[in-house]
């Protein structure tokens, strides 16, 4: 993912609109590109601050920490998604091997 695509996905990330490979690519880019991370942080701070001011007047909050936690949770979700994909591939491989063994044993 390049910077232009990452910047285009910032709002979707904040609104929990990215999933799967899109989320994985976004997180990887944000983790390696300081400029895009700063853009994400700025957008997140603005959006969350405005929504909190409307709902929680006078309440204190740590939006930097909340963004950090959101990024960590999303990284964990991507990890689980990757494990699920790997599990499916292993199951398909085992099934293919079983079919292959059955076919070979029919001709022996």
In-domain check, residue 90: no
20 lies in which domain range?
3-77
Task: Lowest mean pLDDT of 42-46, 49-53, 79-83, 88-92, name the range.
Answer: 49-53
In-domain check, residue 7: yes
Q: How sure is the predictor about 65, in pLDDT bands with cuts at 50, 70 and 90?
A: confident
In-domain check, residue 99: no
The arithmetic mean of pLDDT across residues 70-85, rounded, is: 85
**Which run of H or of E encompasses 16?**
none
The tens digit of pLDDT for each residue in 7-32 reads 999 999 999 999 888 999 999 999 99
The arithmetic mean of pLDDT across residues 80-102, rounded, is: 88
In-domain check, residue 22: yes
Q: How sure is the predictor about 37, in pLDDT bands with cuts at 50, 70 and 90?
A: very high
- For the chain, what is the domain count? 1
Residue by residue, DSSP assigns 20-57 as HHHHHHHHHHHHH-HHHHHHHHHHHHHHHHHHHHHHST
């Amino acid at each position: 993912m390049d910077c232009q695509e990452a910047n285009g996905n910032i709002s979707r990330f904040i609104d929990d609109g990215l999933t799967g490979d899109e989320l994985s690519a976004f997180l990887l880019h944000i983790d390696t590109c300081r400029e895009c991370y700063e853009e994400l942080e700025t957008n997140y701070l603005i959006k969350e601050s405005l929504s909190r001011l409307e709902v929680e007047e006078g309440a204190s909050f740590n939006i930097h920490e909340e963004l950090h936690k959101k990024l960590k949770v999303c990284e964990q979700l991507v990890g689980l998604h990757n494990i699920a994909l790997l599990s499916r591939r292993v199951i398909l491989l085992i099934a293919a091997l079983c079919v292959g063994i059955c076919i070979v044993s029919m001709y022996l």
